[in-house]
Amino acid sequence: VQLVESGGGLVQAGGSLRLSCATSGFNFDDYAIGWFRQAPGKEREGVSCLGGTDGGTDYADSVKGRFTISTDNANKTVYLQMNSLKPEDTAVYYCAAEFTSSWCGLDSADFSSWGQGTQVTVSS
C-alpha cells in the first residue's frame, strides 16, 4: 500500500486548496481512505473519510460544509477540497488507508497505512 499526498501550500484565510492522495498497491474499492491532520503540539485528528464502496463518508464537525472528499477511481486518487480555510486549519495533512469495504471512521488508530503528509498553512 502506497499513499502520496500533494497539493499543500500557503493560502490566505478564506482561500481554497485541493489536496490529492495518489494511491497504489491495493484494490481501491476494498479500502477506506481517511484524511487526517496534525498541528504543532496537537494530537492527530480525523478530518474526513471515504469508506470503500459501501462505507459512505464522514467529516469532522470543524470542517463540515467547508471540506469535501472525493475520488477519481480511474486514477485511484482521493481528493480533499478545502474551501473557506481558516488559520486553525493549519497543519500537516495525511491520507491513510485501511482494508475494509463497509466502514468509514475518523480515529487514526483504525488506519494502518499512511502517507508522508503535506503542509497546509493558512495565514490570517
Cα dihedral: 36, 23, 50, 81 (round 10): 70
Q: From CA 54, how far away is CA 61, in angstroms rounded?
A: 22
The pLDDT of residue 54 is: 74
* pLDDT, block means (10 residues), the chain with 124 residues: 97 98 89 96 96 86 97 93 98 95 88 97 97
- Best CA proximity match to 96, nearest among 30, 32, 25, 29: 32
Place of cell 491495493: 26
Cell of 31: 479500502
Q: What is the DSSP letter of 83?
A: -
